Amino acid sequence: MNVMAKAEKKISSAFIYFFGSFGGILFGYDIGVMTGALPFLQADWHLENAASLVGWITSAVMFGAIFGGALAGQLSDKFGRRKMILMSAIVFMVFSVLSGVSPDMGEASAYYLIIVRMLLGLAVGAASALVPAYMSEMAPAKARGRLSGLNQTMIVSGMLLSYVVDFLLKDLPGEWAWRLMLGLAAVPALILFLGVLRLPESPRFLLRKGDEAQARKVLSYIRKNPAEIDQELASIKETAKEERQANQKTSWSTLFSGKYRYLVVAGVGVAAFQQFQGANAIFYYIPLIVQKATGQAASSNLMWPIVQGVILVIGSLVYMWIADKFNRRTLLMVGGAVMGLSFILPAVINWMMPNMNPMTIVVFLCIYVAFYSFTWAPLTWVLVGEIFPLAIRGRASGLASSFNWIGSWLVGLIFPIMTASMPQEAVFAIFGIICILGVIFVKTCVPETRGHTLEEIEEQGTNRGRVKASNPEN
């Protein structure tokens, strides 16, 4: 036991935060990898005119992630965040390899790949729910925005990594190119598994299970001030005590009880809007978007995803710099307004100037990506990680993740169908209107969480629930 204790004490806070957020690499790689693989897959399996099938192959991961997020949220409340992240890494490794070795059986090949990518999505959805919850429970309140933003940096780094891999493999024979692109996703999953083996469990989960000694030990790795450790333990214990005294048994209906409804609606709503705003239409289909705008082959446009990936990584670093300097709501509203205009203006310009340069839309998409990268992209997961009370955090985070993936799945599925039947400018204008609706939602329904402890945020929700209960007409 002493040897194990000494080994655990050597775990640095940097190691914990790095591998605690590394699950975002899996999320990001799989978002990005199909961008480059799809043109080769279409050519290899002759799917150029099969918009619905292409949509399903692309969006199958997101469909599986809808259920993976909800399932992981429930299981993590029972088994812990760490164990479920390990399980997600294993599932991701297995189905990444199976994607890369898809048999060539004509049309049946497409259905095989769709099923395998749905199962892979279980792991992607689990990671998207577990990583924010784990990071928020490990990070101190004053640095939670910045440290939780590591998740977004990992996501966009995974996307950029997949874009670079796609570009490097593009000159291989078509069949080998897309197979390697998909199969190499197993490598970051293996790295995640090996890193998480050494991670400690969340102190809040440990306290909830009654292991105060281990919770204190974990906090000692990531909090330098003993008084801060005592204060945080006391705060978490008080919240847990109130829950036990109420003898509360959480269920799905609990999420929408008066006490929690306000915070659940806010967190789930932000998670849903992030995807319905259309960002993944760009990330999944940018080579095809450029092809439709310019007439150049999609397989020759794989530099554009790298440009988008670089913008995303820079934006994530900008966010980490400004994360705890500006209110969450302010960043979301400013970002959403610019994103909406970036989608709507090309349609307006094209209406006024029918001979508009077709690359104008790509320039506006870059502006959209830039503002998305340091506002809605990271802040969604920061809010999901910090806005839900301890008693419902696993379920609520899973629900938010599922709604996020529902939006991602629908965007991935219907975008190629929409662009096959209407001008691209009109499609993006629809997403622009959704961006503006997201701004209105944040202004009216989302509380400010910057600088508040998780327990203070819960108290805000409790008080709001009491006000709503006493004034139902409000």
Q: What is the DSSP track for 134-167?
A: HHHHHS-GGGHHHHHHHHHHHHHHHHHHHHHHHH
Q: pLDDT band for position 333 (50/70/90)?
A: very high
Please write the tens of the pLDDT for every residue from 366-415. 999 999 999 998 888 788 877 887 777 777 877 887 788 888 889 988 98
* pLDDT (mean) for 446-472: 67
Per-residue confidence (pLDDT) for residue 149, from 0 to 100: 66
What's the confidence (pLDDT) of residue 253?
Answer: 76
Domain boundaries, the chain: 17-470
Q: Which helix (H) or strand (E) holds 324?
A: none
Residue 247 has pLDDT above 50, yes or no: no
pLDDT at residue 473, as a whole number:
47
Closest residue by Cα to residue 60 from 120, 129, 126, 125: 120
Confidence of residue 240 (pLDDT cuts 50, 70, 90): low
Q: What is the pLDDT of residue 342?
A: 94
Both tokens of residue 155? 């996501």
In this model, does residue 246 exceed pLDDT 60? no
Question: Does 22 score more than 80 pLDDT?
Answer: yes
Q: How far apart (Å, rounded) are the C-alpha atoms in residues 414 and 424?
A: 13
**Per-residue confidence at 299, pLDDT binned at 50, 70, 90?**
low
* Maximum pairwise Cα distance, the chain: 75
Residue 7 has pLDDT above 50, yes or no: no
CA distance 303 to 73: 37
Between the alpha carbon of residue 235 and those of residues 76, 256, 279, 452, 461, the distances in Å are 22, 24, 38, 13, 16
pLDDT over 50 at 469, yes or no: no
Residue 167: count other Cβ atoms within 10 Å of its Cβ: 14
Is residue 239 predicted with pLDDT exceeding 80?
no
State the chain's mean pLDDT as an integer: 82
pLDDT per residue over 175-197, tens digit each? Answer: 888 999 999 999 999 999 999 89
| Token output for 175 | 């069949």
Taking 90 as the threshold, does the pLDDT of residue 338 lie above it? yes
Taking residues 261-282, report their average pLDDT.
Answer: 91
CATH topology of domain 17-470: Growth Hormone; Chain: A; (1.20.1250)
Residue 172 backbone zone (phi > 0: left; psi -120 to 50: alpha; other: beta): beta
State the pLDDT at residue 248. Answer: 53
Rounded CA Rg of the chain: 22
In the predicted structure, residue 21 carries a pLDDT above the cut 90: no
Report pLDDT for 145.
63
Write down the pTM of the prediction.
Answer: 0.76
Say whether pLDDT at 437 is over 70: yes
Q: What is the pLDDT of residues 102-150, one digit of tens each?
A: 988 767 788 999 999 999 999 988 887 788 778 777 877 666 666 666 7
Q: What is the DSSP letter of 346?
A: H
